[in-house]
Structure 1
């Protein structure tokens, strides 16, 4: 059986609207003035309309998680249909580096009808079996068959996927440094990475999830063509 391409999809502010849910939690915590805060222009939320420094966000984020932040998030319009469309043709793995999350992510996925199977805490696997982690990672993630899977991992570049759908500017830069294909959910804080992806030919930025399956198909077809050309060159 032909191995399916692996697509890794991030959750927060990629597949689901983290920022809106975070605003709601801040209001519940008694912090006024954030209900109409703009799309943050810095990934740390240390920017105009949000916080004055890099140290403010993380403690508030952790308090929001305790208030059920992850269960409050809503999929972006078209994201659910796009995920099922991609899963019919590819191996789809939701991967998140969320902290303080034991079960909320999986509960959320099931509540939205995404029959996600929890594979591993990959950080634990990597720490326990460092000698075999990278050798077995790609094959383990690329299971054939339908369905959507889920895992926790801090450094997603270890997954060696064919395509990543991501918003984190730091992760995107590391992926593109490795010449990896990316689809970027555009935000004010990752505009340089959007430009880099499109100028380098490594990816596309998108605002509407209905665009994602078509863009993914174009990038994967391009990768297959380049891989075949490399094989032909080696044979010659």
Structure 2
């Protein structure tokens, strides 16, 4: 069996950022009509209005202060799908990989709330650096360096059939066998490098959904129940 690494994004891929963001906006006294945004920066109808995406960073930052990341909930069936990926395939290894830069310890706390074994991230630290803040950007850089050297298996595969996580803005440096992602720019970057993707379909990434399927580099999904089967199609089953 060949070891496979599956890198899963968090915001609007595994968990519902949009609903949590709308909840925070309502608390700020700026309720929105909401719905699935057609623009990644929420500069669209139902949110900040067409062409007004420049206000998004400010409102995002305020939402983070209100506990945005802690309010996110996994999409229906997402946790069960991840369990299937990890436990039904002995050679598959799953890591949540987020490019968040402003989360403090919120991601770690959120992971604990999901019952994810935090020791897996400390294992990465033991493999990568002698002294490391396991919730900080240093971890991402350490794993990124290991990935560039072609030795990611020593870190990301240190625990079989578990789910780990890290901060890593340049996700492509992992060289994962499959990326599950929603960000249009990240998807384009991954596909430019010929890396396989599963796209969590949204109104703002329809072009990337089409590109993935037409190029043969990936597939798009609307419900997490589809993910295990689609992953097998892209990287092959291993029982």
TM-score class, shorter-chain normalisation, is 0.7 to 0.9
What is the TM-score when the length of structure 1 is the normalising length? 0.85
Instruction: Supply the distance in 2 between the matched residues of 1:218 and 1:171 (Cα, whole angstroms).
Output: 22
Residues 195 and 132 (structure 1 numbering): CA distance in 2 closer, same or farther, change over 3 Å? closer
Between stretches 118-127 and 162-171, larger displacement belongs to: 118-127
Instruction: Supply the distance in 1 between the matched residues of 2:143 and 2:225 (Cα, whole angstroms).
Output: 39
Between stretches 94-103 and 63-72, larger displacement belongs to: 94-103
2:165 matches 1:150: yes
Q: Which has the larger radius of gyration?
A: 1
Of 115, 123, 131, 2:117 maps to 115
Of 137, 146, 152, 1:138 maps to 152
2:108 matches 1:106: yes
1:104 to partner: Cα distance: 1.2
Between stretches 123-132 and 172-181, larger displacement belongs to: 123-132
What is the TM-score when the length of structure 2 is the normalising length? 0.84
Of 192, 201, 212, 1:177 maps to 192
2:40 matches 1:50: no
Q: Give unpaired runs (5+ residues) of structure 1.
A: 225-236
Of 205, 210, 216, 1:195 maps to 210
Instruction: Supply the distance in 2 between the matched residues of 1:72 and 1:11 (Cα, whole angstroms).
Output: 13
Instruction: Supply the distance in 2 between the matched residues of 1:217 and 1:133 (Cα, whole angstroms).
Output: 23
Contact 1:176-1:197 within 8 A present in 2 as well: yes
- State the superposition RMSD in angstroms: 2.3
Could you tell me which residue of structure 2 aligns to residue 160 of structure 1? 175
Could you tell me which residue of structure 2 aligns to residue 234 of structure 1? none
Between stretches 145-154 and 129-138, larger displacement belongs to: 129-138
Q: For 1:1-236, list aligned pairs within 5 A.
A: 3-32=2-31, 34=32, 36-51=33-48, 52-88=51-87, 89=89, 90-116=92-118, 117-118=120-121, 119=124, 123-124=137-138, 134-136=148-150, 138-139=152-153, 140-143=155-158, 145-221=160-236
How many aligned residue pairs are there? 220
Instruction: Supply the distance in 2 between the matched residues of 1:24 and 1:80 (Cα, whole angstroms).
Output: 22
Q: Give unpaired runs (5+ residues) of structure 2.
A: 125-133
Cα offsets for 1:171-222 (capped at 9, x unmatched): 1011111111110100000000000111111111000101101100110029
Instruction: Supply the distance in 2 between the matched residues of 1:121 and 1:136 (Cα, whole angstroms).
Output: 23
